[in-house]
A and B are shown apart, each in its own frame.
Chain A
Amino acid sequence: MYPYIPNTPQDEQEMLKTIGLDSINQLFGDIPEQVHLTKPLNIPDSKSELEVSGYLKNLADKNCPVSQLACFLGAGAYDHYIPSVINAITSRSEFYTSYTPYQPEISQGTLQYIFEYQTLITNLTGMDVANASLYDGGTAITEAALMACSYSRKDEIIVSAGVNPEARQILKTYAHAQNLKVTEVETKDGVTDAGMLESLLSDKTAAVIVQNPNFFGLLEDLKGLAEITHKVKKASFVAAVEPISLALLKKPGELDVDIVVGEGQPLGMPLQFGGPYLGFMAVKNDYIRKIPGRIVGETTDLDGKRSYVLTLSAREQHIRREKATSNICSNQGLNALAATVYMVTMGKEGLKEVAEQCVQKSHYAFNELTKSGKYRPLFDKPFFMEFALTSEDSVDKINKALLEEKIIGGYDLGKDYPQYKNASLYAVTEKRTKEEIDKLRRVLEAVK
């Protein structure tokens, strides 16, 4: 017997009899002999919970978690504080063992928190409509580009080199499959080159995509870039934004952004070696019938009670098949729940306090690290919580020295930007202490 399989041998016999068969093997009699496996799978035999948890604990211990180090690494995934309430709620099996809320009568819990999530995301971004979430920040950028192409019936996309390199690679993968043209606009002094953007725009441009703060941590002139973009008819201005920063920075909705996307991991999700995270997306009203993924709407039931349902499903694959706006048929439900609980737990003041601490601590770190001149700022532009420093030493060498002192160093920008050799991108979240930052400085100064 297996713990997750309740039928006893006696049950099996009774059920087989009802079916009119003698053996379990006969249940597989419809599989032609040549494709019927006769030998066992080459996978170890079943094991007890103790044996398996022991084995996996051992593997977990081969990693070096950020909890035991001081993490100054960001580049798209961040070591933020996660309130305990989040796990308490996402661990409720009424939430995590449920399916997509296709039966609204017994799914009001899921439907309502998605409705709350959509409300919070629209408020955070200043946009009109948010969907119920997408896979992650990178694929959300691609979905935004595809939506812009479908909205404008055009097929050229301009993306800033300041957008996360992974996200740009994903975009290129999809664009290749769909025969869309992707052009990159370079950065100048670390931010999107507005002049070059102007020269690249044409009547065929469907979307211009930028990131704010951009991959280097720098603040982009969203309003100016939106203005340039909107000189082209039906061209969508897409901004990939960092959610915590929106507690302080001007909202995309104030800056004439058409489509906002972003990575929601900072909103209460553990690093978990890269996923699952959360892609959020919010748009102006004009795009509501083009937005991919699920949307929850408010309605009333037979008795006039306020209730929630999945809505606008005429966009989706199970109805539209090959004419759907996207093939997406899931959202990151549980991650959207985590983000919702995070946003309401931090609330109006808390998110702002997190954002302010990120700004204060990262600027303190920036000043401290650049004091001696051994490490120089790569750019001279306003940043939010990440900044790039360059020196004579390779990032690899520096990070090895830092790791010996239990510090996770910055991201090696040279991997994606060959022109920025020996440049580290440091992230300083609210979790880093002055003591850790001072130690980072000391160890950096001692690198030989």
Chain B
Amino acid sequence: MKEYNKLIFELSKPGRKAYSLPALDVEEKALDSLIPAEFLTDKGLNFPEVSEVDVIRHYTNLSNKNYGLDKGFYPLGSCTMKYNPKINEDVVKYDGFANVHPFQAESCIQGSLQVMYELERSLCEIGGMDSFTLHPAAGAHGEITGIMLIKAYHDKNGDTKRNKIIVPDSAHGTNPATAAMAGYSIVEIKSTENGLVDLEALKAAVGEDTAGLMLTNPNTLGLYDKGVKEISRIVHEAGGLLYYDGANLNAIMGHSRPGDMGFDTVHFNLHKTFSTPHGGGGPGSGPVGCKKILAEFLPKPLVGKRYDGTYFLDYNVPGSIGKIKDFYGHFGIFLRAYTYILIMGNDGLKKASEMAVLNANYIKEKLKDYYYLPIDTLVKHEVVFGGLKDTTSGVTTLDIAKRLLDYGYHPPTVYFPLIIDQALMIEPTESESKETIDGFIEAMIAIAKEASSDPELLKTAPHDTLVRRPDETKAARNPVVKYQG
């Protein structure tokens, strides 16, 4: 098929339109009699003039240039690209959910509040937490909310010298960025050669200035940190609190809970573990849970339930850190996640984690003869390789990723975590069948063989995509960030 390569602006023709509105049914007055001329612009909008057919064809053609989960395997490590169930998309369109104003009277929003209340209770159970707030818009937003809870706790205790957050070197980049955003300085601790938190380094790092620790467990290497109880003891004894980055929760549902591990506050990514779509970069949702000691600081408003069974928005939270998000968060995402939890049930959620872990370990076993596996041990939901086992060809992880595109797969996460050179981080999720995974494994092995037989083929990959290695350096050096035409 002929390639489509137009911008919407290039389709514009004066006089075309794609909209219709009812005629004005009130008496029309001169605009400048309603709004003084000094406020009015004389510059028209330079928006395209197109028909509805143009709009639909243009964006349908653009969609064809995208790879989505519904097209195939998407093993992006740390991103949990699991299937997005279609019922979720139906539920958000129910009139009673889609068309409710956030400030309507309490009697008009009981259904929405009940969804939020029940979702919070479900997340508390899954995480071993006492309370949850659904407000945070994304994982990073959840992180800052959780860190603010920790800060509020120390502030309340008059413990103001605690100005450091400890972050392992395997952490997501958002962890240090978040701690800095909350006004903390960062203490990075090295991982052991087994990829776990170095307990001796941790002991040396904690002290009277420790506000808390941010940790992902299983960590970004896909490893469950066996020392987690000891880690929480060390941090708690030093007077700090523990934050759980729930990016990797999909590995452990029904098997292990951050609350039981000793974490005081957590965030979960509804767009990862709870099947809500990633939407090409958002919207996500990053609810934050906490233990009782932090509940008084949660953002306003909370969702409450009265003895008579009615629900209400509770703004009476004197210790609250305040508001962190317009209204109450991404309600449309809560609905999808709650639908998923109801469909899966306790049994299905546990099964999801089990199959996610099974798939990851299977890939590890099948690829470790071809790709360098820095730590050969049981993994959880993802496995991290350090590029090819045979490095003589000079083929890099980027080349492998680009070659995978030719084979029809979305590549794994590359060059993360930072502590593994040439990292290839593969997270298959439970959504994939053995056949899909076998197909991916075959492609990975074929690529490893090509690296020896024809390294140029990889270094110049991809060959079969619409565009090939767009020049990022050029884009950054001379930024063109809007249509100039």
Contacts and interface: CB of A to CB of B under 8 A. Distances in A.
B110 interface: yes
Contacts of B331: 272-276
Interface in B67-126: 67-71, 74, 76, 79, 81-85, 87, 89-105, 107-112, 114-115, 122, 125-126
Interface residues of A, number: 203
B62 A109 contact: yes
A341 B181 contact: no
A121 B74 CA distance: 31
B50 A344 contact: yes
Nearest to B462: A105
A419 interface: no
B111 A61 contact: yes
B466 A108 contact: yes
A245 B97 CA distance: 27
Interface string B129-156: 0000000011111011001100100000
Contact of A359 (B31, B151, B178): B31
A312 interface: yes
A36 B100 contact: no
Contacts of A101: 280-281
A349 B467 contact: no
Contact of A49 (B82, B87, B226, B460): B87
B351 interface: yes
Contacts of B162: none
B21 A42 contact: no
Contacts, number: 675
* Size class of the B contact interface (CB-based, 8 Å): 35 or more
Interface in B445-485: 460, 462, 465-472, 474-476, 479-483
A316 B95 CA distance: 38
Contacts of B65: 106-109, 112
B64 interface: yes
Contacts of A107: 65-67, 280
B63 A92 contact: yes
B180 interface: yes
Given A46-B345, A345-B19, A95 B143 contact: no
Contacts of A176: 321-322
Contact of A354 (B21, B173, B179, B433): B21
A297 B8 contact: no
A75 B102 CA distance: 10
Contacts of B60: 89, 92
A170 B322 contact: yes
B201 interface: no
Interface stretch (A227-235, A326-334, A369-377): A326-334
Contacts of A307: 467, 470
B89 A91 contact: yes
Given A41-B125, A138-B325, A273-B331, A24 B354 contact: yes
B170 to A, nearest CB: 12
Closest 10 A/B residue pairs (Cβ): A274-B327, A60-B96, A46-B345, A274-B102, A334-B279, A62-B111, A276-B283, A109-B66, A333-B281, A173-B322
9 contacts: A14-B434, A40-B350, A63-B97, A77-B101, A98-B69, A167-B326, A275-B331, A321-B177, A327-B140
